[in-house]
Amino acid sequence: MKTGIFCTYENYHQNAQRAIADQVAIVQHAEQLGFEEAWVTEHHFDEFHVSPSILPLLAHLAAVTSRIHLGSAAVLLAFHHPIQIAEDIATLDNLCQGRFAFGIAKGGPFPEQNKHFATPMSEARAKTLESMELVWKLLYESEVSFQGQFYQCDRVTIYPKPVQQPMPVWIASGDDDAIAFAAKHNFGLMGGAPFSIQKLKTTLAKYRQLNASGSEKLMLARFFYVARTDEEAISEALPFIDKFSSRMQGLATQIQKSGNAQNFTQLSQQSNPFDADFLIQNSIIGSVKTCQDKVRQLQEELNVDTIALQPVALDLAKNQESLTRYWQEVRG
């Protein structure tokens, strides 16, 4: 199992430059320790997560690292034109000398994103999967012609082509159509921090019914902090967990009132998915022994390919110390 960093560019101090610099410092520290991957999230209209332009952030990380593999977790594909995305990620793969992994998602559950990017929630998934079909053709074929519901092109060839043949692709979704799409193309799956083991097992079972070759992979994000004791770790993590819990529960209420609750089903099927205790239970937060047990459980029950840790302390030095303890004592 590979170990990665999950990068959400948290703006704890209302200073975007500091938030970006702190995230870069965490990735560089992780690379020095030996972490294999760093995954960057895309967020819009959110003062707490200052990562709307995901590919420039990844390009910067490519320039200040040399070994760690870099991934998008995920490009919200329905909000971008597939030709531009194909050109951007092919260029990025060249910049980082083949260290890039392309993770995609449909976006949500944030209604303002769909509104301002002119993509209704009801269309987002179909638009995402169609876009991915076109992106893949553009990456590896020439004179591409495409006639879809949302996108069309006539004899288009992009330059440069990616270094990797093929580029790794990951899809963040528990939706049946997206799982089938991933299984058909041997793409990997991504699981978010609030998803329980049982929910993830259900998703993987659906994948295996369609693709029994064993080629499925799971990149799993988890909130993370390891300290000398469980109490110390939880104390450091709670300010972030409480903020996340409050924000997401408020959003869930807003969506239910708007009549769009069907777009929130993946998480709402779990009991209290944004309750602070539930989040801590499904995070890697605790003492060295507690974190070892949680990682072992994930390996045994899900056969995780990559676990991407999202450090949740509000202080850069404490997050770096926690990552060092994980690498030296938890991972061992």
pLDDT of res. 254: 67
Residue 100, phi then psi, degrees to nearest 5: -100, 140
pLDDT of residue 247: 82
Cis peptide bond prior to 160, omega within 30° of 0: yes
List the pLDDT tens digit at each of the 332 positions of the chain: 999 999 999 999 999 999 999 999 999 999 999 999 999 999 999 999 999 999 999 999 999 999 999 999 999 999 999 999 999 999 999 999 999 999 999 987 788 999 999 999 999 999 999 999 999 999 999 999 999 999 999 999 999 999 999 999 999 998 999 999 999 999 999 999 989 999 999 999 999 999 987 667 899 999 999 999 999 999 999 999 999 888 877 776 666 665 555 555 554 555 567 789 999 999 999 999 999 999 999 999 999 999 999 999 999 999 999 999 999 999 97
Domain chopping of the chain, boundaries: 2-330
What is the distance between the terminal CA atoms of the chain, rounded to a whole angstrom? Answer: 13
CA distance 9 to 20: 6
Candidates 3.40.50.1220, 3.10.590.10, 2.30.30.100, 3.20.20.30; CATH matching 2-330: 3.20.20.30
What are residue 311's DSSP bridge partners?
224
**pLDDT number for residue 120:** 94
Distance CA 47, CA 33 (A): 30
Looking at residue 163, its pLDDT comes to 98
Distance (Å, whole) CA 285 – CA 277: 11
Q: What is the DSSP string of 7-55?
A: E--B-TTS-HHHHHHHHHHHHHHHHHHT--EEEE----S-SSB--S-HH
Cα–Cα distance measured from residue 63 to residue 99, given in angstroms and rounded to the nearest whole number: 12
pLDDT at 256: 66
To which H or E segment does residue 209 belong? helix 197-210
pTM for this one? Answer: 0.94
Quote the Cα angle for 237-4-38, to 5°: 100
Taken in order 312, 316, 322, 327, the sign of the CA dihedral is positive
